[in-house]
Every structure is written in C-alpha cells, then in structure tokens.
Structure 1
Amino acid sequence: MSRRPPAPDSVPALITTTADLAALCERLRHETFVTVDTEFMRERTYWPELCVVQLGGEQEVAVVDALAPDLDLAPLGALLADRKVVKVFHAARQDIEIFLLKSDAVPTPLFDTQVAAMVAGFGDQVSYDQLCRALAGAQIDKAHRFSDWAARPLSPSQIAYAAADVTHLRKIYTALRNRLEREGRMEWVAQEMAVLDQPATYRVDPETAWERLKARTGNRRFLGLLRAVAAWREREAQRINIPRQRLVKDETLLEVAATGPETPADLARARGISEGFAKGRSGAGLLAAIQAAKALPDSDLPEAPRDRGGPSPSPALVALLKVLLAAKSEEHEVAPKLLASSDDLDRLATEAHPDLPALRGWRREVFGESALALKAGRLALGVDGRRVKLIGAE
C-alpha cells in the first residue's frame, strides 16, 4: 500500500539543526523549483543580519531559523547552487545580496516573480500582495511585517507569516511561467534576469560611491574630495557595521568635501560631526582621506558627470514618445518602465544614434523600432475609439 504525500499546505516545519536542514535540502533537490524568501534585520547595521530563511517545495514548506545555535547553512548553499533546481524569489535583490555574503555565490538559476510580472503586464514593481490576490487568490496577513526577526523564540504566528511568503509564491510562479511560456516571453524574462546573476550587481564599489550623491558641479577638485570621503565612509561603515547614513549623512559628506577640513577642530565644525568623532579613529581616517585627495594631481581627479550636450529635448517630441510608450505597453501588456525610462525617451528625442536598452533585443521589436519611425516622421499617432493607433509604415 503506497504512502500518500503530505498535504501541500501542512503546518510548516521550523528547522533549527544542521541535520534537519540537510535532510530538507536533500528532499528539495528533487524538485524542479524551490520558492525562497528571507527575513533579516538591517536598521542598525551595514550588513544585513539574516534571521530566517523560508523554503517551499511542491509538497512542503519549512522555515529555517538562521540564528539557531550551531546551525550550519552549508546544505542550503549547496541547494541554492544546484543548477537543476530553479530558485524562485519575489523582488530578489536583497535576498540575493544576503546569500552572496553568506556563500560568495549568487543562487542559480533564478526566477524573480516581480520581474516576470512586469513582463507579463502587471505594471511596474508589482507587490507580492498584489500577485497573491491576482494569481493565488490569497490575502496576506501583514501583522508581522515589522517584526523583530532577531528576537527569539519565534512565535507560531511569526512562523506562519514567514511560511506564507513562499507558500503562495508557488502558485504565483506556476501561473506566471505558464502565461509567459504560452506567450513566448520566457526569453524576455531570461534577458531581464541576466543582471541578477552577476555578483557585481550587489557589491558596492567604494570608489564609485560618490556618484550616488549626484553633485551638481563640474569642479574636479571638489569631485576628487567627494570621491575620497565617500569611499572612506563606505569602508568605515563596513568596518564598524553601521548604516552609512548613521556614520555620516550625505549632506555632511558634501559639506566636508566642499570645505576640505585639515584638523579635528576644522572637521568638528561641519554640521553633524561631533568633537568626539572628529578626534577619534573615524575622524582621523576621514582627515587622512581628505589629505590624500588634496595631494592628487589634476590628471587623477574624476571627470565631471558627462553632459550629453546639444539642444534640450523637444517637450512635444518627448510627449509623443511617452504616448507611444504607453500605447505599446498597453498593446503588448508589458510594464512601460521595462521598455524605456524617462531618460531613454529624452535621449531618443535628442541623440541621432543613442545606445539604449530600448533599441536592443526584444525591446527594440516591441517599442524601439516604432520610436525611431515616429522620430523620423514615418509613423504618426491617431485615435481609434478609445485606443491610440499607429498610422504609417513602421
């Protein structure tokens, strides 16, 4: 007499030992896909503190207590590296960053349901809650969204909440995959997933941290100081393991780069810098970075943000391109943001031969060719009832 498999939505197991985790991962390695989610804390640290990992197979769901004493996550790393099993996430970037830190590898192969939903026409950055309602017929209980996941023991309601994130994800993944396969769009998704496969996507280069501050100046000496102090902040925040903004706020960093203090007393005059900080190890490191940047020759200073130059884009042409983008998005049921950004439209309107994602691959077929035809006057826009229609040869 054969044994019946366990019910798919049985009470989730709480995994607290390496032996149980190894047994779970061995079972899941026989699945075609595994749904994955994490709960972590990051409010007071630079590096995310992994607290819980949720795993879902076809017949079981388990919650792994990542903070359990003596638990070795190596079996999980082996599962995440198994290329025969698709790892399904929703909005995967932060989860993947954690696994990259833990095992120095990106889980592979990946499927991000948020990205897939954009390709399938569910809009920009669709939430997990929305997909649960639309594709799994489920309503998510948000009671533990802001739980302290580092506190122990985990309550039964926390475990149930965590498990729900991968339980419904199974139905969401299956529905999206079937829809995309039916519409011949799995290759579109694969192209979008490519960036998620790259470790560089998740690693911050301290030497480029200054670019995120978007200083509106062409003064290369100032930019050299900003590059130096931003790189120092990134490394110091990593060393101390506190959020970069808690170490030194952006506005303070910009002020320090502008004034170039040379002594602890000078540094303490900057808004947000205390005397104790200025005289301590962190202050000494910041002052050393400033002095090193001041000594750089002009040839080693960063270039000012690239200005594309030329005339400003025609507002009318950009407006037409936006209408075309909306029409193509509606026609192909794909999120507009996935086809082209606002900056892409500006460049399409002003540059003769822009190198843009919108003009490559499936995006060119869906939107790019029509955008070029519109710009060249070979295509016009009209209205057919309540829909925009394209007039002329594309």
Structure 2
Amino acid sequence: MSESVELIALDEPREGIPPVTNGDIEQVTAQLAAGHGPFSVDTERAMGIRYSDRAYLVQIRREGAGTFLIDPIGIEDRLGGLAQVLATDQWILHAADQDLPCLHELGLYPPEVFDTEVAGLLLGFPRISLQSEIAEVLGYGLAKEHSNSDWSQRPLAPALLAYAALDVELLLELRDELTAMLERAGRLEWLREECEEIRLRGPRPPKAQPWRKAARQAGVKDQRSLGMLQALWGARDELARQRDLAPEKVLPSKVMGQLALRKPRSHQDVENSPLLRSRARRRDAGAYWQAIAPVWQLPEEELPSRRFTDRQDPFPAVKQWKKYGADVAERWSVVRGAILTRADDLDIRQELLLKPLLQKHLAWDGWDDPDEIPVLLAALGARPWQVENAAPSIVAAAKRAGR
C-alpha cells in the first residue's frame, strides 16, 4: 500500500471495549467454546517494569464469540478449561515467540500457530510490526503508544483496554490476506514450517554470563573488577526478584559497570559513591558491599577470565577466522556470499533464509564434498524450505571456488 493512501483510523474495537475477565473465567471459556474457527491471541506483559515476563493480560478473539480480555492473576489454577478449548483450533499471533513462553506458564498451548510477523518476513515486508502490517495489508491505522505501559497496574485504564482489544481485532482478517499472498508467492509451506518450529521451540537457555555485556559497555577488563561486576549482577538480580522489579530499575547496568571499575574497598566506599545518587540506591549499598567484599579474597585463578566464549555462539569473531586457516576463512566467504545473494534474490532477510549461527557452523566444520551440503544443513537444524533454497546456492558457490 502506498504511504500516500489515507488509513482508516481504528481507535476502539468495533464491538466496544470488552470487560476484563477474572473471576468469571468459566463463563468466558464457555463462550469461546461456542464460537468457531481459529483464536486470535495476544498478551500484555510489563517488561522493563516487573521482574518476570509473566502475562498480566491475555487477549483472545474468536468468530461467533467476540473478544475477551483475561486477567490471569490469581486464577492460574482455574485455566484448565480454557486450555482445553484453546487446544481445539489454530492460534493467530503476531511475534508468537514473544507471547508463547508466558502463555505456556499459564498452561496454554496451541495445536497450530499462524504467526503474522513471520508471514510478513517471508513476504519481504520492509516493516513487520503489527501496526505496519495492518496498515499495509488492510488499510487500518492502529495506535501503538501503549505498548510500553505498565500492564501490571490495576485497574487498567479504558485506553489500555481498547489498545489491548485492538491487538486481536483484525488478526483473522490479516491472516486470511497474508495466506492468499503467501499462496501466490509459493511460500505458504515455508510459513507452516517456521510456525511449527516456533510452536515446538523449547525455552531459551539463559545466558552463561549475562553481565559480560555490561562489562564491555563500561570497559571493564581487569579481572578483579570483572569478578566484582559478576557479584554485583547477582546481588542486583536477587533484589529485583524480591521486589518484583525489572533489574534496570533497581540499578542500571551502566552504573554497576562503573562501580566495578572503582573496585570499592569498604561499605562506606560503596555508600558514598557518587554513582549511588538516590536514597533508594544508597539503601542497597550494604547488599552490594556484601557481594563485592569476598571478591577481594579470591585468588586470581578463580576470577573471571578476560576472554569469554558464548556457549550459544562459540566461534571467534569472523574477521579473525584467517588465523585458524585459509580453508575455514574461504568457506565462510563461500557460505556467506551465497546466502546473501540468494536472500537478495528472494527479497527476504538473510537470517531468515539461514540463521547466521548455522552459516558459521557449516563454514567452520566444512564438508568433504559440496554435494553433502544439503544433508549437513538438515543435520544442523535447517528447515526443509531453507535447505531447498539455500543449499543449491552454497553448493554452486563452493564448486566455483574449488571448495
């Protein structure tokens, strides 16, 4: 759709703002069961505000039933009936990988997923937010100014409830249009494979040393300071968990990095630090000192190493691959170049065609014969549509390069 086309503003659900469901969950479950077709599903969390990523609101819409806004707090043990109803048909979500983990916490699992964000990616949309896709495909303008609101507050303001309901208002219409577009492009099976992978995906493993990013940002390189930052990170996380606050609200990571650089030698050093300007931060000085103090006694061999390898991406920086042999660097050039070219031909993002981590694995591990590459990609976890579209380009490039 051209940007010059005037969008139809949609500020409130066409059927009005639905009430919030909590104690009457069984009645709402019965109404959803009496509807027909897939479920449009979304959640609202309080990321950046609360400690957990739990759902504070679950939005569900179904033809013949309407839209429901479910407050799951306090009724988590009463959602079994809802789970059974939701297991009877497809869920339509936008960015399903963001919503499914908190829905799983509530015991809610889909039998099939249609992800409108992934559909947009496979169609090569330049913008893939729900707002952008609805504008592009359906011609409606949705406001998104409440996306970062505190959804843990009670009661929720009418404007927030309208926003939440609108997030599922048009998902079915959007799914139908995107399905037709994918069918015309010959990419509907690609979507099915991607959505099934998302549906079955396990929990994301925690980062091995999440404080390393703060260390890099603050320029912390000294091992003793690294040990202090690691200790501060743990102390802050415990305070955040106890208070149900996002860790950054307890103490910004940037401030922790700067505090670790100073290597405080006493409780007073921590409490009087200009980094802890507010009274609330100074109240936590004791907890931070208790975390830091033992680090002074650690022998050097027990302090964190200056070098760190992420277990999820264990490879050295690509620009350093020549140090490990010309073959591995040349294979990377072959794989990367082929993927970029093929993704450009398909007008999709290269990371969608083949995850960079899989690209690295293939280039690093190598192959004895280029014709093995399709099998190797499948063994690495590439979906069939990815193998079908990526492997021929890599094979051809490898043979041209004599690799």
Task: Give the TM-score taking structure 2 as reference length.
Answer: 0.69
**Does 2:259 match 1:256?**
yes
Give CA-to-partner distance per residue, 1:123-152, whole Å, 9 cap, x none: 5x6110222133334332457557676464
SS of the residue corresponding to residue 322 of structure 2 reads: coil
SS of the residue corresponding to residue 13 of structure 1 reads: coil
Cross-structure match for 1:265: 268
Aligned partner of 1:127 among 119, 129, 151: 129
Cross-structure match for 2:342: 328
- The 1:291–1:108 alpha-carbon spacing in structure 2 relative to 1, beyond 3 Å, is farther
**Does 2:64 match 1:53?**
no
| Conserved? CA contact 2:334–2:394, under 8 Å | no
> In structure 2, how many angstroms separate the alpha carbons of the residues matched to 1:13 and 1:78?
21
> In structure 2, how many angstroms separate the alpha carbons of the residues matched to 1:370 and 1:175?
31
Shifted more, 145-154 versus 79-88: the winner is 145-154
**Does 2:238 match 1:241?**
no
SS of the residue corresponding to residue 288 of structure 2 reads: helix
Aligned partner of 2:382 among 361, 375, 386: 361
> In structure 2, how many angstroms separate the alpha carbons of the residues matched to 1:139 and 1:275?
42
> In structure 1, how many angstroms separate the alpha carbons of the residues matched to 2:239 and 2:344?
47
> In structure 2, how many angstroms separate the alpha carbons of the residues matched to 1:297 and 1:377?
54
Partner AA of 1:133 in structure 2 = A
1:87 Cα offset (Å): 2.9
Partner AA of 1:367 in structure 2 = A
- The 1:251–1:154 alpha-carbon spacing in structure 2 relative to 1, beyond 3 Å, is closer
| Conserved? CA contact 2:231–2:292, under 8 Å | yes
> In structure 2, how many angstroms separate the alpha carbons of the residues matched to 1:217 and 1:376?
45
Cross-structure match for 1:209: 210
Cross-structure match for 1:311: 322
- The 1:106–1:60 alpha-carbon spacing in structure 2 relative to 1, beyond 3 Å, is closer
Shifted more, 333-342 versus 54-63: the winner is 333-342
SS of the residue corresponding to residue 199 of structure 1 reads: coil
> In structure 2, how many angstroms separate the alpha carbons of the residues matched to 1:334 and 1:158?
34
| Conserved? CA contact 1:264–1:278, under 8 Å | no
> In structure 2, how many angstroms separate the alpha carbons of the residues matched to 1:293 and 1:301?
8
| Conserved? CA contact 1:16–1:71, under 8 Å | no
- The 1:39–1:191 alpha-carbon spacing in structure 2 relative to 1, beyond 3 Å, is closer
Listed as ranges, the matches of 1:1-394 within 5 Å are 10-11=15-16, 13-19=18-24, 21-29=25-33, 31-42=36-47, 44-47=49-52, 52-64=57-69, 66=71, 72=75, 74-76=77-79, 78-80=81-83, 82-99=86-103, 103=106, 105=107, 107-109=109-111, 110-123=113-126, 126-142=128-144, 150=153, 152=155, 154-155=157-158, 158-177=160-179, 183=187, 184-190=189-195, 192-194=197-199, 197-200=201-204, 208-213=209-214, 215=216, 220-274=223-277, 280=283, 282-296=284-298, 300-303=302-305, 304-306=307-309, 308=316, 309-311=320-322, 324-340=338-354, 347=360, 351=364, 353=366, 360-362=381-383, 363-371=386-394, 373-375=396-398, 377-378=400-401
Equivalenced residue count is 360
Partner AA of 1:353 in structure 2 = G
| Same amino acid, percent of matched pairs | 20
- The 1:164–1:277 alpha-carbon spacing in structure 2 relative to 1, beyond 3 Å, is closer
| Conserved? CA contact 2:334–2:401, under 8 Å | no
1:245 Cα offset (Å): 2.0
> In structure 2, how many angstroms separate the alpha carbons of the residues matched to 1:244 and 1:51?
18
Partner AA of 1:361 in structure 2 = A
- The 1:364–1:293 alpha-carbon spacing in structure 2 relative to 1, beyond 3 Å, is farther
SS of the residue corresponding to residue 311 of structure 1 reads: helix
SS of the residue corresponding to residue 275 of structure 2 reads: coil
- The 1:75–1:288 alpha-carbon spacing in structure 2 relative to 1, beyond 3 Å, is same
1:96 Cα offset (Å): 3.8
Partner AA of 2:39 in structure 1 = V
| Conserved? CA contact 2:214–2:254, under 8 Å | no
> In structure 2, how many angstroms separate the alpha carbons of the residues matched to 1:177 and 1:26?
29
Cross-structure match for 1:3: none
Cross-structure match for 1:382: none
> In structure 2, how many angstroms separate the alpha carbons of the residues matched to 1:344 and 1:271?
46
> In structure 2, how many angstroms separate the alpha carbons of the residues matched to 1:85 and 1:302?
49
Give CA-to-partner distance per residue, 1:29-67, whole Å, 9 cap, x none: 464521112344455433468554321112233242629
> In structure 2, how many angstroms separate the alpha carbons of the residues matched to 1:176 and 1:107?
23
> In structure 1, how many angstroms separate the alpha carbons of the residues matched to 2:281 and 2:190?
56
1:331 Cα offset (Å): 3.6
> In structure 1, how many angstroms separate the alpha carbons of the residues matched to 2:149 and 2:226?
41
Give CA-to-partner distance per residue, 1:187-206, whole Å, 9 cap, x none: 531454157x42346xx56x
Where does the alignment leave 5 or more consecutive residues of structure 2 unmatched? 1-12, 310-314, 368-375
| Conserved? CA contact 1:61–1:163, under 8 Å | no
Cross-structure match for 1:387: none
Shifted more, 213-222 versus 329-338: the winner is 213-222
1:172 Cα offset (Å): 2.1
1:168 Cα offset (Å): 0.7
